[in-house]
Structure 1
Amino acid sequence: MTTASTRDAAGAPLVSFLAIRPDAGRVGDLLASLDGQSAWQLVVVAPSEALSAHPRVVRAEASATATDAEAIDAGVARATGRFVSVLPDAGVPSADALQTIADWLPLAPDAAVVYTDESAVRADGGIDVVLKQGPAPERLRCQFYYGDLLLFRRDVLADLGGVAHDAAGVELYDLSLRAVQRAAVTLHIPRVLFEAPAVRSIGAFAEDRLDTVRTVLERHLLATGGGTVRSVSADGVHVTVRPVHGEPLVSIVIPTQARFSAPLHAGGAPHSYLLHALRGLVEKTSYRNIEVVLVVDTDPDDAVIAEARSLLGERLVVVDFDLPFNFAAKANRGVLNAVGDYILMLNDDVEVITPDWIESLLALAQLPGAGMAGCMLYYEDDTIQHGGHHYWMGSPTHIGLQVPRGSAGPQHAFEVEREVGGVTAACSLFPRAVYLEVGGMTTLLPGAFNDVDFCLKVAEHGYQAYWTPHAELYHFESKTRDARVRAYELETLGRRWRHRLHQPQYWPFPE
């Protein structure tokens, strides 16, 4: 291999690692981790005393007063690799990093950005493995979750204009966001290829860099459809929200029996979960341009329907359903009787927590290519019921199931808006046109997994599902229906979607 080539003799892409102002010890640690691997170059931006005589080490000149951006520019100018990676001040690539990267790149031959999983040493000496979500541009505006081993293709880096000189300390985050703006192909390699010496919050920034983080995020939102930076945080979790465009009619479709159930407490009056949900809609919800479509069995309690009319007036549409129980069929009938451009599918056993929950969902459902948006649902004991769908080893589940409310989740995932494989029909908002395009919900699954099947159809048609922590509701799950999962339903789902029920195991799977 020669440093003038972008590949080694075996054809593996050359990676130029940049070390900015390392001391001799840091250079030694990096060489110890890289020696024995092929297709690498170490570009050291440092005084000559930090240099090693190693044939793969190249020195780049930068003045003592040079900014980090100027130092990175100097290093990139000396780099000859196909990919460039600016290394952090601590931690090293794993012993199999470069071979693994070479093995995975054929899966995305046009990849311009590459990131990997990593590990970190805990204070007790144990090892934490940090698994990452796959490419997720909306999550990236909330968190720089790519981590420490981050590669940029050198020609794309040049096309982007290099690192920004007005993003001190935030250069790589800014560069990653600009790559997203250019729709650069991003590859996540779900293998632990970087070893950090200590656990830290992923994407964390020093307090004195937060104003720059805000500036970078505001610039990114402006370039990608708008939005607001509500807050930035040193732990790497930034509250950024997309805007709602206009005030479209949202049709809230609620399949329901519309009956009273037993009193919640001994000696109490009969209770209606539906009316409890509707009161929350009326009293707590800030979005006003709604209609409510109740899809009702033929024998409802008249008093429930009467109070629903009193609560909603002309905004209420009641649709009769005179067939045997089939949630999917009821949902389809409700959508066909709705007139809003957006449908909010809602169970009748929920309670609104956040007043702007519809705005939070609608902002995501209006994104280009969006298929649906879902929310944070809690059980009545304040544990999480739903933080999005996860499909793994042929079986669907809810992300965050029974985790205590307020938990940050893996890599703060319960605190950031993000892409997901799907969301529950207990509360999901989507363009009506998408629902009709994919054929609605399949009636082959009358009770369970009809929403999973719907989500997978939406994904198969090329649409993206999103989840937000800013829309929160309680879900008194299965209070008004039979919650049993029948074997044929899981078998039916598997026959239809086995090829999509094997996502990477980023999410801890419930035991």
Structure 2
Amino acid sequence: MTSAVTVVVVSATQPSGRLEESVTGEGFELRRVNRVPDESVATAVVQALSDSTSEFIAVVESDGWMSPHAGDAIRQYLSANPSVDVLYADGAAVGRRGRTTSVARPDYSPERLRCQFYWGDLVIYRRSVFESLGGLDSTVPGAELYDLALRSTAVAHSIEHLALPVFTRPSAAIRPLNYQELESTRVALERHLAATGGGTVRSVGADGVHDTRRSVKGEPLISIVIPSRGIHSMVDGRTRCYLIDAAQSIMDLSTYRNFEIVVALDSVAEPAVVTELADIVGDQLRIVEWTRPFNFSEKVNAGVLHSRGEFVLLLNDDVRVLDEDWLESLLALAQLPGAGMSGGLLYYEDDTIQHAGHGYFEGDASHIGLDAQRTDPGPLEGYRVEREVSGVTAACAMMPRSVYLEVGGLSNLLPGNFNDVDLCMKVTWRGYPIYWTPHAELYHFESKTRDASVHAFEVDVAWGRWGFRMHDPRYWPYPHNRPPS
């Protein structure tokens, strides 16, 4: 039989009784604590648990209720997964007109957790973990549950996600964080960052989305590797060279300056383009002449092999940088222990999103956020937070040089398409996580400079290798609905 779960409910309002009615069945007990002004929630919870002997503990601060069959689902999950230390689940919300919608959450994402408390209202902790952390911390009033979640990541061996809607909250229960809660959240996040490798809290949001950044360590050389034909094209009635525009934006905007630009340049490149490129980039430019037939993968690999940086940044020539600290944002994530890759937020020229990470669903691969408006926050505010992802586009992807070489770089068997899907699959197959940041923003004028057609053999190669992994709910799951388009 599954050990009992004690649910402690902390409420400042008169209980409706709906939660009590919903917490039913063998293995659950409910204890309610009425919030008293000037009384520490942490103290009240300790008193509520004083004679409890259950193996698991949950503290809830919402006037919501358990969804039907939630108790059975939780008991079955804990029974089938006896090593779980922390369990959170999907949720549901009731709108003003009484319509209930599911709230799908990603699997455990440590970097996302420092940007938002996405675990939801009902988080179940193994008692030994809860007690080893000293329970709730009274020094962060209003942010005790978020702080507990952050601290638990240091001691919990298994943090699991139950992909079922377990807890329902009314829309009225969702409110902005007040001043005290915001200040407590800042303290909790600063302590968490200090304990997990460093970083800064730039802002805390009343909506629960916080701008926290990892710190860049040292000043390593970044090799920005750009494959290009190096020619002018007629675009919208005017002559334009995307390579020149990309290089100009890098040189004009980037606050991180220890980089080289390695251009794998076709032999057909216009001499005027080469001259202008040298004028813009100066002694930070390295040109690798490319004389073979088109093969994007082979061309990029040649550029990497001629580069010198500790980190390599694969970058298309049809991009334009929008953020001054884009390199710092990518580098800070690529420097995380064991990191494999980091990528940014790309827009089409019409200010719709082209890329907010790769998503793999039911045997298919696509870009997260594809065609969404630039201002769209995404499901669960996902386009606003740094997070783990299944992959990123090679149009803007930073990697430790050692990882790039270890996995063999881009596959020459994929000359034009899906080479980045293959690269990401190789990186995660080797156990290296991939990260995405919304703080490295670029325009991507996709496929403006090459033939964008997809060949059947490319599909056969990529899906033949990785079709069995083309549904990865680990970082961006869709357990209830198809991915947003």
TM-score (structure 1 length as normaliser): 0.90
Residue number in structure 1 paired with 2:18: 29
Residue number in structure 2 paired with 1:40: 28
The amino acid of 2:125's aligned partner reads F
1:253–1:345 CA contact under 8 A, matched in 2? yes
1:306: how far off? 1.5
- For residues 308-457 of structure 1, what are the structure 2 equivalents within 5 Å? 308-457=277-426
2:478 matched to 1:509? no
- For residues 101-500 of structure 1, what are the structure 2 equivalents within 5 Å? 101-105=74-78, 108-182=81-155, 184-198=157-171, 205-262=177-234, 264-266=235-237, 268=238, 270-500=239-469
Matches of 2:273 and 2:325 in 1, distance apart? 26
1:239–1:416 CA contact under 8 A, matched in 2? yes
1:397: how far off? 0.7
Residue number in structure 2 paired with 1:59: none
Structure 2 CA distance for partners of 1:70 and 1:480, relative to 1, 3 Å = same
Structure 2 CA distance for partners of 1:435 and 1:211, relative to 1, 3 Å = same
Tell me the SS of whatever aligns to 1:319.
strand
1:261: how far off? 1.1
Structure 2 CA distance for partners of 1:508 and 1:274, relative to 1, 3 Å = farther
Residue number in structure 1 paired with 2:69: 96
Structure 2 CA distance for partners of 1:124 and 1:470, relative to 1, 3 Å = same
2:62–2:173 CA contact under 8 A, matched in 1? no
Structure 2 CA distance for partners of 1:174 and 1:93, relative to 1, 3 Å = same
Residue number in structure 1 paired with 2:48: 75
Tell me the SS of whatever aligns to 1:370.
coil
1:85: how far off? 0.8
Matches of 1:112 and 1:141 in 2, distance apart? 19
The CA RMSD measured in Å over matched residues stands at 2.0
1:395–1:501 CA contact under 8 A, matched in 2? yes
The amino acid of 1:229's aligned partner reads V
- Once the two structures are superposed, residues 371-413 of structure 1 have per-residue CA deviations (whole angstroms, 9 ceiling, x without a partner) of 1111110000000111111111111111111111121111111
TM-score (structure 2 length as normaliser): 0.94
2:27–2:75 CA contact under 8 A, matched in 1? no
1:45–1:74 CA contact under 8 A, matched in 2? no
Tell me the SS of whatever aligns to 2:332.
helix
1:255–1:334 CA contact under 8 A, matched in 2? yes
The amino acid of 1:115's aligned partner reads Y
Structure 2 CA distance for partners of 1:33 and 1:43, relative to 1, 3 Å = same
Tell me the SS of whatever aligns to 1:77.
coil
Structure 2 CA distance for partners of 1:44 and 1:127, relative to 1, 3 Å = closer
1:322: how far off? 2.4
Matches of 2:388 and 2:247 in 1, distance apart? 29
1:69–1:164 CA contact under 8 A, matched in 2? yes
- Once the two structures are superposed, residues 138-186 of structure 1 have per-residue CA deviations (whole angstroms, 9 ceiling, x without a partner) of 1111101110111111111111121112111111111111111235421
1:510: how far off? 5.0
Matches of 1:362 and 1:199 in 2, distance apart? 41
- Once the two structures are superposed, residues 329-379 of structure 1 have per-residue CA deviations (whole angstroms, 9 ceiling, x without a partner) of 111111111110000100000001111100111011111111111111000
1:307: how far off? 1.1
2:225–2:314 CA contact under 8 A, matched in 1? yes
1:205: how far off? 2.8
Matches of 2:173 and 2:47 in 1, distance apart? 29
Query: Which range moved further: 178-187 or 223-232?
Result: 178-187
Matches of 1:63 and 1:387 in 2, distance apart? 44
Tell me the SS of whatever aligns to 2:466.
helix
Unaligned runs of 5+ in 2: none
Structure 2 CA distance for partners of 1:152 and 1:471, relative to 1, 3 Å = same
1:201–1:411 CA contact under 8 A, matched in 2? no
Matches of 1:106 and 1:381 in 2, distance apart? 51
Matches of 2:319 and 2:191 in 1, distance apart? 38
1:71: how far off? 0.8
Matches of 1:438 and 1:33 in 2, distance apart? 50
Tell me the SS of whatever aligns to 1:376.
strand
Tell me the SS of whatever aligns to 1:434.
helix
The amino acid of 1:416's aligned partner reads V
Matches of 2:80 and 2:334 in 1, distance apart? 30
Tell me the SS of whatever aligns to 2:171.
coil
2:62–2:121 CA contact under 8 A, matched in 1? no
Matches of 2:436 and 2:236 in 1, distance apart? 35
Residue number in structure 2 paired with 1:12: 2
Structure 2 CA distance for partners of 1:106 and 1:12, relative to 1, 3 Å = closer
Question: What is the aligned residue count?
Answer: 480
The sequence identity of aligned pairs, in percent, is 46
1:31: how far off? 2.9
Runs of 4+ in 1 over 6 A off after TM superposition: 62-65
Structure 2 CA distance for partners of 1:510 and 1:214, relative to 1, 3 Å = closer
Matches of 1:121 and 1:304 in 2, distance apart? 58
2:129–2:156 CA contact under 8 A, matched in 1? no
1:471: how far off? 0.9
Tell me the SS of whatever aligns to 1:178.
helix
Structure 2 CA distance for partners of 1:104 and 1:171, relative to 1, 3 Å = same
